[in-house]
Structures are given as C-alpha cells and as structure tokens.
Amino acid sequence: MSNERNPKDLTPGPIRQPHLSPELASRIEAIRAAVAEVCPISAEEWLDGFQRDQHPEREVVWWERVARCYTDFTAKKTFPSEQKQAAFKVIFGLFGGLEAKDVVADAAALSESLIDELLAICEQNG
C-alpha cells in the first residue's frame, strides 16, 4: 500500500492571519507582479496563501529572494517562455532546499552558460 497522497485530495489549511498589514500586502503584490508570467496566480490567491501561513513575513522574505533572482536573471536579455519557466523552477528548487544536481531536469531548457549565470545570481541572493 502506498503512502503517497494525491495532490487533488489536499485541502488548504485554515486562515491564520485574517488581516495582513498594508505594507505586507504591497510586498506580496510586488512578488506576484515579478513572477506573474511563470507563476500565474491571482492577487487574491496570493493573499489567501499568505493568510494561511503561520509566519507570513518569513514566507514573504523567501518569495522576495525568489522574485529578485528571477528578475535579476531575466532582466539581462529576452528569453523564450520555456527558458523563463525553467529558470523559475531552478530558483524555486534551490531556495526550497534542493541541491544543484537535483534541479538538472528543470534546467534542461537552459544552456550551460545560462545555468552558471543563474546559479551565480542565486548564490549572490542566497
């Protein structure tokens, strides 16, 4: 018998923070705007997710790092959608605790030089 859960069976946790400060909400909106093309979640869904976090401020700081790396990487040149998505997955994985060897499959759309550049940006912001 498998202990794996179907993601469709998961339900959101309770709202722990019914009111987020205007400053925090503004920071969340900046994150949403920065990663919208690779993480197309509505503003309401972003706020709802942070309201369910036990420590939304910590999560915002984490997401700000992800967004900063993503924008630092994509601001330098024009990338096709597939490469932007790959970069986001790599950044998300690395900041989520994976090692570089664990995100190789996600990086497949990126050249070796782009991967090196992305890893350097993540290291600077990590």
**Nearest partner of 92 among 112, 74, 109, 69, judged by Cα:** 69
The answer to whether residue 11 sits within a structural domain is no
pTM over 0.85, yes/no: yes
Q: Total structural domains in the chain?
A: 1
Taking residue 72's Cβ as centre, other Cβ atoms within 10 Å add up to 17
* Domain assignment present for 10: no
Pick the residue with more confidence: 4 or 56?
56
**How many beta carbons lie within 10 A of that of residue 84, not counting itself?**
18
Q: What was the pLDDT predicted at 51?
A: 97
**The pLDDT of residue 3 is above 80:** no
pLDDT at 9: 78
Domain membership of residue 79 (yes or no) is yes
**Domain containing 74: what range?**
16-125
Establish if 4 belongs to a structural domain. no
Instruction: Please compute the mean of the pLDDT values over residues 77-104 and round it to a whole number.
Output: 95
pLDDT tops 60 at residue 2: no
Residue 73 lies in a domain: yes
Any domain includes 8: no
Q: Residue 117 is encoded by which pair of tokens?
A: 């550049």
Q: Confirm whether 2 is domain-assigned.
A: no
Q: Given the structure tokens 């990126």, which residue do they identify?
A: 110
Per-residue pLDDT reduced to its tens digit, 19-76: 999 999 999 999 999 999 999 999 999 999 999 999 999 999 999 999 999 999 999 8
3-class SS letters over the chain: CCCCCCHHHCCCCCCCCCCCCHHHHHHHHHHHHHHCCCCCCCHHHHHHHHHHCCCHHHHHHHHHHHHHHHHHHHCCCCCCHHHHHHHHHHHHHHHCCCCHHHHCCHHHHCCHHHHHHHHHHHHHHC
Does any domain span residue 5?
no
Confidence of residue 12 (pLDDT cuts 50, 70, 90): confident
